[in-house]
A and B are shown apart, each in its own frame.
Chain A
């Protein structure tokens, strides 16, 4: 009875999280959904007489693999969203249909099989789950285990070789950067000084509050563009306040907003 309840709770949670993984627009949400699926599966392993695998699932998957995914997401850019252009026409529809058909086929196939009551691993796990696993791995599967260690070393070396980058030219010094800024100023008139800090003259000093310029307008340059969600709200708010005093809300757009 307890197992049934656990199963249904976790089954619903994991299928919902898997759907969220596939259909959420942001990659970070997908990663978190994957974490939910992996944790649910870890509990399902524990329920099914596999406590060692449950621990390994949590340590290796939700610990190491998910962290790696999040690291690479941050490196590659969280805002690199999916393109909506379909290179193959109707590919999404047919992929969805194929996946659905595959699921129905497998589910019907499993649904038609009649299984006897599970034998259970109580007899095998008499000495404990870890000793019986160790006995299998280090006797019958010892060669596979050794090959696995070679695979892991190869993977670590491969990752280092692939991710390593030789610096082709010397690193730009402060002098070079300053010179480049003034060359840009001479050519395009880009502001050579540092960008205004956020919220210096505003009512809040949060990092995502834009600074007010002396004439009361808002400096778009003062906020990182990824954090700028408050800017438009504040613009509206301020334009309401300032309508009476006839001060225009100017947007400063000169220069590259690269802060």
Chain B
């Protein structure tokens, strides 16, 4: 059963990664990052049970806290960029390129 959980976790992580690479809307990119974090948490919880060690769950708990903090700051940045550029597309914020 452990293998099944790990493969599910790997699939969700890969799908999230594809989403980060192909989507252009900054908010959807952010959601895909959250999906990847969740997939990692599933792997942590699975290994915690596999090895009978609570520390996997502790790390998953910390990942959740860091993810929550990251969402708050990231969405604030997206709102700020949207205010100045009227766009939530990641392709539009390319001023540093020129």
Min C-beta distance of A161 to chain B, whole Å: 8
Option from B4, B69, B87 in Cβ contact (under 8 Å) with A80: B87
- Which listed residue, A21, A91, A124, touches B53 by the CB 8 Å rule? A124
Contact B67 A27 (CB under 8 A): no
Residues on B with C-beta less than 8 A from A76 are: 27, 78-79, 82, 88
B89 and A82 contacting across the interface, CB-CB below 8 Å: yes
Residue A83 is within 8 A (CB to CB) of chain B in the complex = yes
Band of interface residues on B: 35 or more
Q: Tell me the dominant secondary structure on chain A's binding face.
A: helix
- The A-contacting residues of B in range 15-45, CB under 8 angstroms, are 15-19, 21-25, 27-28, 30-32, 34-35, 38, 41-42, 45
Please determine whether B7 and A65 come into contact, CB atoms closer than 8 angstroms.
Answer: no
Chain B interface residues (CB < 8 Å from chain A)? 1-8, 10-19, 21-25, 27-28, 30-32, 34-35, 38, 41-42, 45-46, 48-55, 57-58, 60-62, 64-73, 75-80, 82-83, 87-89, 91
Q: Which 8 A-B pairs have the closest CB atoms?
A: A119-B52, A103-B14, A95-B21, A99-B18, A106-B10, A155-B69, A22-B19, A162-B76
Task: List 20 A–B pairs whose Cβ atoms lie within 8 Å, in order of A's numbering.
Answer: A15-B11, A15-B15, A21-B19, A30-B28, A30-B31, A53-B41, A53-B64, A72-B27, A81-B25, A82-B89, A106-B13, A118-B1, A121-B54, A125-B54, A133-B57, A154-B69, A155-B68, A158-B76, A162-B80, A163-B76
